């Protein structure tokens, strides 16, 4: 279905400017992959249908591409997945063209140094990823050579995986940010290995980490239903799973598939608010859909009903969703298509890098807040203040310690800088001189995190298990960096709220130990929610499992 987006937010219409606005709208409809020239679509792959081409391509891919796009093209941090999305659907000639040209400003190198044949072999290989298993299951006990780093310890407030430690409090303030390009930009994606014997997530004394579920298929966002069932998005295979109950040793009693056949589902929300929701809303990558639901259902009683199209295509694909506390508005986070393309001149960025707002029936789209590069990984409603909060992936390519990711409450109509400004009035040098009138408008987020952390889902702790000091605090999953010389993230953090409903700018390492060395990791936190017994559940799409953090007091 097609829905006409009416942008009522006057400012945004102002950016695009009168007649040009219509023109860009039209352009958006038949744009080629990364603006590939029309002729590129006509070029045929000389290795079409030949297994040998794809297998040679696999080796070239491993050597040249896997560091950023991941072993299996699953994407990492802010680098797009190649196994899903436009790379799998546009003409092969356009993919070939883009690999050849690259996009240096967005962090994708040109590959014209490889022979034309090799580039086609890579295209052949990349197209085989579509139907292969979504993540290679690393082989247990497989030997690997640790990647050492001699980098000096990072200067506070910045840190990296070597110095992450449960309980360590950190605070990044705007006056501690380095200049752009203070260090080179890095290509340091992780190689995933099986969890080595004896490796286990670490947390604070008094807490314990248990394995809740394993063998999952790309587990992503987690959300607790009003009746205590735990919903999980298994995004790459299009499923929503539901867990019920807990055995004495902390495993789910029931695991069932609630819905399947969805298009990269991520966000999950229950509507209407209260104890008896009638629908489960899902943020697919390209639409908001809802499934009929009544308390206790382990399987949706009907098909997904599409309510509204969402901007989609390349780039950030996750769409977290949340209802306002009174249930009158549905918030949907749609991340940018690119690292920092200018929305004034890039039709694909229309209504992206925004938090959108809809009526619960999918009508009435408006922009709630903008200039937010990607909040698609996590939205939450603060149970005390009823404000919307988000967890944001900021941009790459400006050096190791820029730009901090962040967690913040979201001001209605608020502008958070992307792509012209960052963290308040710091101008992105790649947009020097543009939109000076927005400098004063650009808001400083509440809590700055380590740059390139890839901060994903966040949740407010309202459980009855952790000590009283944790009441109302935020916990968030940090998926981990690729654009940093020494990796950071790969942890769960706590944002203390000091019982005030507001953040002080500090955050604390809470669960660490997923990164092994500067080349290898075995786990990557994504989703996070509070179980009915007050334990914290964390999904991990590195080891395809869910971890449970319990407070034992000893
Ligand atoms: C230094 C990291 C890096 C390396 C190495 C790299 N890429 Fe990329 N690639 C990126 C980034 C970042 C983007 C997003 C660019 C953009 O949005 O314009 C991207 C985008 C792409 C896209 C477009 C995907 C989409 O959905 O829009 C394709 C296709 C692609 N890369 C293929 C490759 C291939 C094939 C290789 C190896 C020959 C490779 N890349 C190596 C970082 C990298």
Secondary structure of 97-139 in HEC code, one letter for each residue: HHHHHCEHHHCECCCCCCCHHHHHHHHHHHHHHHHCCCCCCCC
pLDDT at 137: 66
Q: Is residue 152 part of a domain?
A: no
Q: Which of the four pLDDT bands, split at 50, 70 and 90, describes residue 185?
A: confident
**Is the separation of the CB atoms in 319 and 332 below 8 Å?**
yes
Q: Which atom of ligand 1 is nearest to the CA of 105?
A: 18
Q: Same domain for 302 and 389?
A: yes
Strands 191-192 and 520-521: parallel
Q: Same domain for 354 and 239?
A: yes
Chain centroid to Cα 176, Å, comes to: 26
Q: Same domain for 185 and 115?
A: no
Q: Same domain for 110 and 200?
A: no
Q: Is residue 335 part of a domain?
A: yes
Chain centroid to Cα 212, Å, comes to: 22
For the beta carbon of residue 247, count every other beta carbon within 10 angstroms. 8
Ligand 1 pocket, CB under 6 A: 64-65, 67-69, 79-80, 82, 85-87, 95, 98-99, 103, 106-109, 111, 122, 126, 187, 314-315, 338-339
| C-alpha radius of gyration, the chain, whole number | 22
Ligand 1 center–CA 102 separation, angstroms: 7
Q: Which atom of ligand 1 is nearest to the CA of 189?
A: 2
- H or E segment at 62? helix 51-64
Q: Specify the DSSP class assigned to residue 162.
A: G
Q: Same domain for 282 and 354?
A: yes
Residue partners of 389: CB distance under 8 A and separation at least 6: 379, 380, 381, 382, 407, 408, 409, 410, 458, 460, 474
* Residue 547, CA distances (Å) to 486, 504, 515, 536, 539 in order: 25, 28, 16, 8, 6
Of 32, 69, 83, the residue with max ligand 1 atoms within 8 A of its CB, to mutate for a pocket test, comes to 69
Q: Is residue 146 part of a domain?
A: no
Residue partners of 229: CB distance under 8 A and separation at least 6: 242, 243, 244, 298
The burial of 358, by beta-carbon neighbours within 10 Å (0-12 exposed, 13-18 middle, 19 or more buried), is given as buried
Q: Which atom of ligand 1 is nearest to the CA of 122?
A: 35
Ligand 1 center–CA 420 separation, angstroms: 23
Q: Same domain for 65 and 184?
A: no
Ligand 1 center–CA 357 separation, angstroms: 31
* Residue 217, CA distances (Å) to 133, 173, 214, 519 in order: 9, 38, 9, 24
Say how far apart CA 127 and CA 88 lie, in whole Å: 6
Instruction: Decide which of 96, 131, 166 is a domain's last residue.
Output: 131
Residue with CA at minimum distance from ligand 1 atom 6: 65
Q: In the predicted model, is pLDDT for residue 405 greater than 90?
A: yes
Q: Is residue 481 part of a domain?
A: yes
Q: Specify the DSSP class assigned to residue 336.
A: -
Mean pLDDT for 173-199 is: 91
Instruction: Decide which of 114, 131, 148 is a domain's last residue.
Output: 131
Mean pLDDT for 461-473 is: 97
Query: Which phi-psi region, left, alpha or beta, contains residue 298 (left: φ > 0; alpha: ψ -120 to 50)?
Result: alpha
The residue ranking higher by pLDDT, 386 or 9, is: 386
Q: Is residue 22 part of a domain?
A: no
pLDDT at 29: 36
**Is the separation of the CB atoms in 279 and 292 below 8 Å?**
yes
Q: Which of the four pLDDT bands, split at 50, 70 and 90, describes residue 70?
A: confident
Residue with CA at minimum distance from ligand 1 atom 2: 68
Ligand 1 center–CA 308 separation, angstroms: 29
Q: Same domain for 342 and 394?
A: yes
Instruction: Decide which of 131, 166, 198 is a domain's last residue.
Output: 131
Q: Which atom of ligand 1 is nearest to the CA of 107?
A: 12
Of 33, 74, 80, the residue with max ligand 1 atoms within 8 A of its CB, to mutate for a pocket test, comes to 80
Query: Which phi-psi region, left, alpha or beta, contains residue 376 (left: φ > 0; alpha: ψ -120 to 50)?
Result: alpha
Domain count, the chain: 2
Q: Same domain for 213 and 104?
A: no
Ligand 1 center–CA 108 separation, angstroms: 5
Residue with CA at minimum distance from ligand 1 atom 19: 108
Q: Is residue 137 part of a domain?
A: no
Ligand 1 center–CA 232 separation, angstroms: 28
Which of 382, 378, 410 lies closest to 391 in space, CA to CA? 378
Strands 219-224 and 207-213: unpaired
Can you tell me which residue has the tokens 């297994």?
51
Q: Same domain for 201 and 312?
A: yes
Q: Angle at CA 457, nearest 5°, toward 455 and 463?
A: 130
Mean pLDDT for 381-405 is: 96
CATH number at residue 201: 2.120.10.30
Strands 525-530 and 219-224: unpaired
Q: Which atom of ligand 1 is nearest to the CA of 396?
A: 12
Q: Same domain for 330 and 213?
A: yes
Per-residue tokens: 455: 């901060």
Say how far apart CA 292 and CA 65 lie, in whole Å: 42
Ligand 1 center–CA 75 separation, angstroms: 9
* Residue 67, CA distances (Å) to 75, 108, 187, 318 in order: 10, 12, 7, 21
Q: In the predicted model, is pLDDT for residue 199 greater than 90?
A: yes
For the beta carbon of residue 42, count every other beta carbon within 10 angstroms. 10
Q: pLDDT tens, 268-297?
A: 999 999 999 999 999 999 999 999 999 999
**Is the separation of the CB atoms in 532 and 552 below 8 Å?**
no
Ligand 1 center–CA 337 separation, angstroms: 13
Q: Which of the four pLDDT bands, split at 50, 70 and 90, describes residue 13?
A: very low
Per-residue tokens: 12: 């945004």
Q: Same domain for 279 and 387?
A: yes
Q: Which atom of ligand 1 is nearest to the CA of 126?
A: 35
Ligand 1 center–CA 542 separation, angstroms: 21
Range of the domain at 257: 174-551
Residue with CA at minimum distance from ligand 1 atom 9: 108
Q: Is residue 145 part of a domain?
A: no
For the beta carbon of residue 313, count every other beta carbon within 10 angstroms. 17
Ligand 1 center–CA 80 separation, angstroms: 7
pTM to 2 decimals? Answer: 0.84
CATH number at residue 76: 1.10.760.10
Q: Same domain for 487 and 397?
A: yes
Of 59, 68, 72, 129, the residue with max ligand 1 atoms within 8 A of its CB, to mutate for a pocket test, comes to 68
Q: Is residue 547 part of a domain?
A: yes
Mean pLDDT for 136-159 is: 86
Residue partners of 8: CB distance under 8 A and separation at least 6: 366
pLDDT at 308: 98
Burial 20-40 (b: 16+ CB within 10 A, else e): eeeebeeeeeeebbbebeeeb
Say how far apart CA 195 and CA 521 lie, in whole Å: 8
Q: Which atom of ligand 1 is nearest to the CA of 86?
A: 26
Low-confidence winner among 137-141, 155-159, 306-310 (lowest mean pLDDT): 137-141
Ligand 1 center–CA 73 separation, angstroms: 10
């Amino acid at each position: 279905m097609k829905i006409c987006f009416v942008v009522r937010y006057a400012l945004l219409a102002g950016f695009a400017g009168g007649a040009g606005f219509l023109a860009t709208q039209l352009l958006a409809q038949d744009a080629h992959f990364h603006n590939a020239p029309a002729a590129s679509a006509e070029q045929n792959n000389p290795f079409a249908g030949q297994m040998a081409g794809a297998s040679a391509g696999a080796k070239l891919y491993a050597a040249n591409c896997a560091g950023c796009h991941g072993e299996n093209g699953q994407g990492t941090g802010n680098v797009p997945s190649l196994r899903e999305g436009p790379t799998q659907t546009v003409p092969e000639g356009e993919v070939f063209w883009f690999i050849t040209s690259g996009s240096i400003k967005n962090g994708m190198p040109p590959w014209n140094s490889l022979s034309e044949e090799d580039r086609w072999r890579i295209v052949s290989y990349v197209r085989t990823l579509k139907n292969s298993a979504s993540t290679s299951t690393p082989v247990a006990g497989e030997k690997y050579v640790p990647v050492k780093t001699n980098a000096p310890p990072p200067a506070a407030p910045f840190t990296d995986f070597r110095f992450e430690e449960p309980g360590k409090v950190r605070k990044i303030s705007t006056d501690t940010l380095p200049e752009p390009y203070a260090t080179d930009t890095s290509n340091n994606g992780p190689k995933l290995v099986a969890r080595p014997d004896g490796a286990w997530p670490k947390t604070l004394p008094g807490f314990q980490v248990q394995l809740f579920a394993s063998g999952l298929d790309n587990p992503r966002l987690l959300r607790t239903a009003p009746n205590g069932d735990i919903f999980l998005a298994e995004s790459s295979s299009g499923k929503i799973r539901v867990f019920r109950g807990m055995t004495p040793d902390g495993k789910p009693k029931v695991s069932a598939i609630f819905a399947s056949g969805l298009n990269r589902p991520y966000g999950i929300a229950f509507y209407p608010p209260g104890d008896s929701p009638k629908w489960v809303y899902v943020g697919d990558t390209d639409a908001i859909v809802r499934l009929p639901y009544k308390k206790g259902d382990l399987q949706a009683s009907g098909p997904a009903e599409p309510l509204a199209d969402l901007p989609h295509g390349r780039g950030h694909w996750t769409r977290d969703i949340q209802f306002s506390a009174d249930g009158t508005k549905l918030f949907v986070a749609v991340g940018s298509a690119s690292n920092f393309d200018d929305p004034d001149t890039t039709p694909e960025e229309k209504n992206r890098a925004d938090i959108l707002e809809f009526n619960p029936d999918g009508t009435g789209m408006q922009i709630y807040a903008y200039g937010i590069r990607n909040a698609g990984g996590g939205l939450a409603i603060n149970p005390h203040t009823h404000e919307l909060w988000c967890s944001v992936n900021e941009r790459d390519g400006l050096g190791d310690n820029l730009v901090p990711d962040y967690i913040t409450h979201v001001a209605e109509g608020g502008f958070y800088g992307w792509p012209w400004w960052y963290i308040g009035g710091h101008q992105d040098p790649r947009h020097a001189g543009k939109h000076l009138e927005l400098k004063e408008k650009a808001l400083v987020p509440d809590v700055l995190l380590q740059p390139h952390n890839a901060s994903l889902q966040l949740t407010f702790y309202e459980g009855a298990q952790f000590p009283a000091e944790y009441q109302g605090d935020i916990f968030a999953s940090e998926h981990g960096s690729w654009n940093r010389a020494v990796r950071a993230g790969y942890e769960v953090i706590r944002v203390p709220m000091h019982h005030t409903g507001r953040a002080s700018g500090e955050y604390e390492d809470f669960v660490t130990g997923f990164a092994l060395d500067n080349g290898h990791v075995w786990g990557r936190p994504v989703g996070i929610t509070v179980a009915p017994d007050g334990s914290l559940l964390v999904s991990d799409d590195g080891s395809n499992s869910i971890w449970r953090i319990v407070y034992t007091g000893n």
